[in-house]
Amino acid sequence: MKILADTCAWSLLLRRKKNAVLSGSEQAVLQSLTEAIRDGRVAVIGPIRQEVLSGIKDLAQFKGLRSALERFRDDQIETCDYVEAALLFNLCRSRGVECGSIDMLICAAAIRQQYAILTNDQGLLRCIAALRAEGMTIPAP
């Protein structure tokens, strides 16, 4: 199964300091992403690419990250994904769960394409749990 790796997963792989101490969940996400890349099962969408590249002050580091991501083509985001993201946002909000627009777009794209979402972002994980409680199918990685 393909996985849609969230920004935090890519950041663990590409942006963390090499001597950083990782938590157990961070190690698991990093290992899952590494395996998915090796197996050709990783998916990227444009908004995730943008988030990974945003906020980098050093131009050389930016170019290095951009180059590292170039081997992964963006999966298309369709108009229906944006509409579904709005619906998912409203569902989560009705359950008292605040979710970001990009997180909901990630969920919408993953649902349509039947991808798992790889993340350790607690906010996105709460959104995924709320959507599953509403009957949405978002496979675990």
- Matching residue, tokens 């197996």: 39
Q: What per-residue confidence (pLDDT) applies to 134?
A: 81
- Does 92 share its domain with 39? no
Q: 65 and 84 in one domain?
A: no
Question: CA 139, 118, 126, 84: dihedral to nearest 10 degrees?
Answer: -60
Which of 115, 108, 116, 66 is CA-nearest to residue 89? 108
Given this model, what pLDDT does residue 69 score?
92
* Same-domain pairing of 65 and 86: no
Residue of 100, 106, 117 whose CA lies nearest to 84 = 106
Determine phi and psi for 94, rounding to 5 degrees.
-65, -20
Same domain, 15 and 58: yes
Which has more pLDDT, 52 or 138? 52
Establish if 49 belongs to a structural domain. Answer: yes
Same domain membership, residue 123 and residue 95: yes
Confidence of residue 6 (pLDDT cuts 50, 70, 90): very high
**Which 3 state secondary structure label does DSSP give 4?**
strand
The predicted pLDDT at position 139 comes to 66
pLDDT computed for residue 132 by the predictor? 87
Q: Check whether residue 59 and residue 91 sit in a common domain.
A: no
To the question of pTM greater than 0.95 for the whole model, the response is no
Q: Are residues 39 and 19 in the same domain?
A: yes
State which of 69, 93, 120 marks the end of a domain: 69
* 101 in the same domain as 59: no
Quick one: 59 and 87 in the same domain?
A: no
**Domain limits at 114?**
79-133
The pair of structure tokens assigned to 17 is: 């300091």
Mean pLDDT of the chain: 90
pLDDT band for position 136 (cuts 50, 70, 90): confident
The residue-averaged pLDDT of 37-52 equals 93
Checking if the pLDDT of 44 tops 80, the result is yes
**How many domains does the chain contain in total?**
2
Residue of 125 and 20 predicted with greater confidence = 125
Q: Average pLDDT for residues 57-78, to the nearest whole number? A: 91
Residues 15 and 52 in one domain: yes
Co-location of 44 and 86 in the same domain: no
Q: What is the DSSP string of 74-125?
A: BPPPPHHHHHHHHHHHHHHHHTT----HHHHHHHHHHHHHT-EEE---HHHH
Residue 4, φ and ψ in degrees, nearest 5: -100, 105
